[in-house]
Amino acid sequence: MSQLDLLRERLRAAGAKPSHERRVLRLWAQALPQDSGKRAIDDFLPRQLRDALPAIVAELGGLARIASRHPAQDGSVRLLLGLADGQTCESVLLPRGGLCVSTQIGCAVGCRFCMTGRDGLLRQIGSAEIVAQVALARTLRPVKKVVFMGMGEPAHNLANVMEAIEFLGTAGNIGHKNLVFSTVGDQRVFERLPLGPVKPALALSLHSTRSDLRAELLPRAPRIAPADLVEAGHRYARATGYPMQVQWTLLAGVNDTAEEVEGLVRLLKGRYAVLNMIPYNSVPDLPFRRPAWETAVALARELHAKGVLTKLRNSAGQDVDAGCGQLRARGLERGQEAPLSRPPDAGGVGKVFSITFSSGTSCGPPSSGVGGI
């Protein structure tokens, strides 16, 4: 039984009918007080449920709590969250009402340029824990968009992620196109996403148009040819009416070559897609480098001129050393699985699921301004 189903069972055990259950969970997901709404709580909820409500609200609040927060100059805030079992995960408040959430503790894909997967997959994040990241973020600022681009590969936790997406797209009051499912590519994703009542937008983590290089960078991703991945994503994008986002972490001397530019033109020109290029942000002990901003701008302009809609993005919070998996790793190094509080750390850089960008021929230098997905 899923975490959200267990919550519903808990409410029913306290006397909740379906309408009461929907109200309690809707107010939780939207970070609203339980006495909100047009109908007074005393007139709507049964006495048994009202008596149990303080304990239930405390349980909901205990699903995720802020262990430390790391605000950046661009308006983003990286959060290290403690879960009920003592594990930690990360989420990121993004400019313009966005939130990036994690779906796994660790990751099995093992992307060579990413900190999260260095220790493999530790456990799945449950559907209620995913929703709790949103509920908690909404206590800090409004959240209108949720991207599933944090720790973990959503395709490897498909049931929990899709349950959370369907909940957020209904009770959570988030538009379906503002729920973005990110994946390295898995046939199960393309089979499952079209079936649900909430059909999220799709982001495809491509990173190379060469099968051999992509296999090297993403060693445990499914062996699907880049052209086939793009074709599957394009079909889903046309079916939903939301353009596919193609994610490309720009690695100096690796995937910023003329060969890759031509490959991207071949795969994406004429597709219902937007290419999000994100210059890499360094991770200690990893061999990859961030390209010069001028190089990134030139690539984006070239692709744009050749018919590929390209957005060049800066990573949110580049003044905070808190890229994907790094906050959690620092806590583990200090022997703090879920520290109760810690002041923000300064210095360093962020990582892939960021939001600020310049696009097309208007590409400019990095700034502290905000953009949008």
* Band of residue 283 on the pLDDT scale cut at 50, 70, 90: confident
Q: What is the mean pLDDT of residues 171-193?
A: 97
Both 11 and 112 in one domain: the answer is no
Tell me, yes or no, if 90 is annotated catalytic: yes
Both 88 and 74 in one domain: the answer is yes
User: Residue 104: pLDDT above 90?
Assistant: yes
Both 57 and 70 in one domain: the answer is no
Establish if 363 belongs to a structural domain: no
Structurally, the chain folds into a number of domains equal to 2
The pLDDT of residue 293 is 93
Both 141 and 265 in one domain: the answer is yes
* Band of residue 353 on the pLDDT scale cut at 50, 70, 90: very low
The pLDDT of residue 15 is 97
Catalytic residue among 90, 153, 166, 260: 90
How far apart are alpha carbons 85 and 101 in whole angstroms?
Answer: 18
Q: How far is CA 152 from CA 103, 189, 315, in A?
A: 5, 15, 18
Domain holding 314, by residue range, is 65-357
Query: Worst-scoring range by mean pLDDT, 80-84, 333-337, 354-358?
Result: 354-358
Query: Any residues with CB less than 8 A from the CB of 32 and at least 6 apart, and which?
Result: none
Q: What is the mean pLDDT of residues 24-40?
A: 94
Catalytic residue among 107, 111, 114, 324: 324
The pLDDT of residue 286 is 86
The pLDDT of residue 317 is 52
Establish if 47 belongs to a structural domain: yes
Both 186 and 335 in one domain: the answer is yes
Strand partners of residue 248 = 277
The CATH number for 72's domain is: 3.20.20.70
Rounded to 10 degrees, the C-alpha dihedral 247/249/255/258 comes to 60
* Band of residue 313 on the pLDDT scale cut at 50, 70, 90: confident
CA atoms within 13 A on the CB side of 8: 12
Whole-prediction pTM = 0.85
Q: 323 phi and psi, to 5 degrees?
A: -70, 175
In whole numbers, what is the pLDDT of the chain averaged over residues?
86
The pLDDT of residue 38 is 84
> With contact defined as beta carbons under 8 Å apart, do 268 and 233 qualify?
no
DSSP per-residue codes, 16-42: --HHHHHHHHHHHHTT--TT-SSS-HH
Q: Report the 10 Å Cβ neighbour count for 180.
A: 22
Top pLDDT among 228 and 332 is at: 228
Q: What is the mean pLDDT of residues 306-313?
A: 95
Establish if 368 belongs to a structural domain: no
Establish if 119 belongs to a structural domain: yes
Both 146 and 265 in one domain: the answer is yes
The pLDDT of residue 345 is 31
The pLDDT of residue 282 is 77
How far apart are alpha carbons 7 and 88 in whole angstroms?
Answer: 21
Sign of CA pseudo-dihedral 15, 19, 20, 21:
positive
User: Residue 316: pLDDT above 80?
Assistant: no
Query: Any residues with CB less than 8 A from the CB of 143 and at least 6 apart, and which?
Result: 93, 97, 98, 99, 134, 137, 174
Both 9 and 77 in one domain: the answer is no
Tell me, yes or no, if 333 is annotated catalytic: no
Q: How far is CA 228 from CA 29, 204, 231, 274, in A?
A: 37, 12, 5, 17
Establish if 371 belongs to a structural domain: no
The pLDDT of residue 5 is 97
Percent of the chain with pLDDT over 70: 84
